Chain A
Amino acid sequence: MPAQRPSMDWPRIVKQLGESAVRPNLVDYERSCAEFTWDDARGALDGLPGGLGLNIAHEAVDRHASGPRAHHVALRCLGRHGEVRELTYSDLRDATNRFANALEALGVQAGERVFVLTGRLPELPIAVLGALKRGAVVCPLFSAFGPEPIRERLERGDGRVLVTTEVLYRRKVEPLRATLSQLDHVLLVGTGDTATSVPGTIDLATTLSAASPIYEIPATSPEAMALLHFTSGTTGAPKGAVHVHAAVIAHHATGRFALDLHPDDVYWCTADPGWVTGMSYGIISPLTHGVTSIVDEREFDARRWYQTLQDQRVTVWYTSPTAVRMLMKAGREVAKEFDLRALRFVASVGEPLNPEAVAWGAEVLGLPIHDNWWQTETGGIMISNYAAVDIKPGSMGRPLPGVEAAILRRDEKGRVVVRDGEAEESAPGEEGELALRPGWPSMFRGYLHDDERYRACFQAGWYLSGDLASRDADGYFWFVGRGDDMIKSAGHLIGPFEVESALMEHPAVAEAGVIGKPDPVAGEIVKAFVVLRPGNDATDELRLELIGFGRKRLGAAIAPKEIAFADDLPKTRSGKIMRRLLRARELGLPEGDLSTLEVTQ
């Protein structure tokens, strides 16, 4: 996909030490990398008292609550109507203890799965951290999911408890509750002060106020399962990436290096809590650093976002390319109305940040935007730009201390080239597959119930990311494109298979092929090509019906935004839909090697 390759010609953004009011955590990149060990990084955390192991919630909450930061604000939650609710570390300890006790009272055991499906509400981090204290495994769901992705993930993830809101429950879960055989308890966040009384559910607020605020975290092995994050695949059902409590070592270390977190920061992560960024960097990493995190319930609005940066005196901001591009679209005049001088460091993740956006940050925010790269499977930031290190706009930066990354050469079929058990690395500037040497603490430990697909991610001692990239002579990494058919829309990875499967449940649809169509704001949007069953006419009414059908099943974030009818879909001889070819046609690109294409009549 050469059209996506960013230009490497943008001038380097040179960092001068002394520019920043706060000394960056990483000043000398080479030296930090040389000196870093994961054992030292573990030493920056406390571990459970009495040598009982390592628990994410203790590092994020309790160790601050029992020390000098007890009365420091941990979460400042901005509500839908401008109301503000603050929780200190001490408050957060009590609330999460109550949640852990409530789970215990419900009979929830260590290792059992607690799903969370809410927007950015204070109850969300309380539920997440309280469940981790109990030893339960937390699985976040995206609140823009429709019923089908929710059902599939709850089932595959053995969801025993679900924490959600009354509104989301009524719309998305209640209609399919009878099919969720393993889901025993639903805890509801109500609206306002009145308790919810939805049949088959428990009111969360009532339950928490009845529970004790004292809880002792049981012994927790660093290798005990803590988090489950579903990610889509190009084929087959979504995969549940398993992370363990030791991941907190990486959450903390990467927050220090890649986000430059200092204890007195006011930090704002705009990611949705339904995705891995909202967990690793929306909840865990900032709390392990004892900072104040902003939790804003409302969705993007350019003016209000600037207002929040100004009024909350945000110092470190972690956002997404889509948000940056929407701010750019709103115009620089809007930014000029606000005082953004508190801001010290801006980072972005989700898809490659185009060089224009990096430069826009430098001009309009007065700070360049630091792109970084990681995945659900890596659990934490792996490659990044840093506060005190020069930026090459359009590059994702260089590997974190403790992370070994490489570009591996691929053969014409897209497989990594291995000779004598060793993978062959690409030359500088040569495109290949971005790979990581396993061993960092937040690496996924498996796909739940799917060992085969887990093993397929590794070859010759490397974790293969599925992303194509190159590395230049200075060691900076440059994203090229996905090595597969995955779609990146507004920072979210969407598997075409999940969308195609949903569309094919419609009686008029014989086949569907789904691709990412480039979009100036979202990066890509989901577009479906649909072949109709005989007896159905390709009318505009049917097209709209299919759009609505997709939205009802999948939710707005995953459903196709565009549907086109086709007479047939290009397929390989083995019958696989060639999405790459559909995409090339859509873009008017050369169609490439067609030798495996099935000849259709």
Chain B
Amino acid sequence: MNTDEAREVIARILGQIAPEVDLATVAQDGELQQELDLDSMDFLNLVNGILESTGIDIPERDYPQMQSLDGCARYLVAHSSDRAPGPMS
């Protein structure tokens, strides 16, 4: 997965969780939960959405790396080769 593909996956999942947000207006390195008004349940839904659509199971200890849109994309790119066998987008 390259960065553009990762961004697309994230945008699709966030489109289900916070559909009112225009991601183009969000700072890529801003704090995701603040920028998008995500509560902790929304964040867990993002993590679950990533698992469902990419097979990448993000452990709790890596959540701090998912604090911005940039961080999420970087994480997916870095881990797209070690995903668990499972549903693919």
Contacts and interface: CB of A to CB of B under 8 A. Distances in A.
Interface of A: 144, 146, 167, 299-304, 322, 326, 329-331, 334, 490, 519, 521-522, 525, 544-545, 547-549, 551-552, 555-557, 561
Contact of B63 (A144, A301, A331, A544): A301
A374 to B, nearest CB: 23
Interface of B: 15-16, 18-21, 33-34, 37-42, 44-45, 60-61, 63-64
Contacts of B33: 299
Given A329-B60, A334-B61, A521-B44, A555 B16 contact: no
Nearest to B20: A548
B78 to A, nearest CB: 19
A322 B40 CA distance: 10
A319 to B, nearest CB: 13
A151 B41 CA distance: 25
Given A490-B39, A519-B41, 18 more contacts: A144-B37, A144-B39, A146-B37, A302-B60, A302-B61, A303-B60, A322-B40, A326-B40, A331-B60, A544-B16, A547-B20, A548-B18, A548-B20, A551-B18, A555-B37, A556-B18, A556-B39, A561-B42
Given A301-B63, A303-B61, A548 B39 contact: no
B19 A547 contact: yes
A561 B17 CA distance: 8
Contact of A557 (B39, B44, B45, B60): B39
A556 B38 contact: yes
Given A301-B63, A303-B64, A551 B40 contact: no
A561 B40 contact: no
Contacts of B61: 302-303, 334
Contacts of A331: 60
Given A299-B40, A490-B41, A551-B20, A167 B34 contact: yes
A329 B41 CA distance: 13
Contacts, number: 57
A326 B41 CA distance: 10
A519 B39 CA distance: 15
A299 B43 CA distance: 11
Nearest to B16: A544
A445 B55 CA distance: 54
A521 B16 CA distance: 20
6 contacts: A146-B37, A302-B61, A303-B63, A519-B41, A544-B15, A544-B19
B35 to A, nearest CB: 10
A559 B83 CA distance: 33
Contacts of B64: 301, 303-304
Most central of B15, B18, B41, B63 by chain A CB within 10 Å = B41
Of A304, A322, A334, A544, chain B has the most CB atoms within 10 Å of the CB of A544
Contacts of B63: 301-303
A307 to B, nearest CB: 11
B1 to A, nearest CB: 25
B19 A548 contact: yes
B40 A490 contact: yes
Nearest to B61: A303
A208 B82 CA distance: 53
B41 A522 contact: yes
A551 B37 contact: yes
Contacts of B18: 548, 551, 556
B37 A330 contact: no
Contacts of B38: 556
Nearest to B42: A556
A544 B64 CA distance: 28
Nearest to B37: A556
Contacts of A304: 64
A429 to B, nearest CB: 35
A522 B45 CA distance: 12
Contacts of B60: 302-303, 329-331, 334
Contacts of B16: 544
Contacts of A545: 19
Contacts of A519: 41
Contacts of A525: 41
A424 to B, nearest CB: 41
Q: Which 8 A-B pairs have the closest CB atoms?
A: A548-B20, A544-B19, A548-B19, A330-B60, A556-B39, A556-B37, A552-B20, A302-B60
A367 B74 CA distance: 39
A300 B40 contact: yes
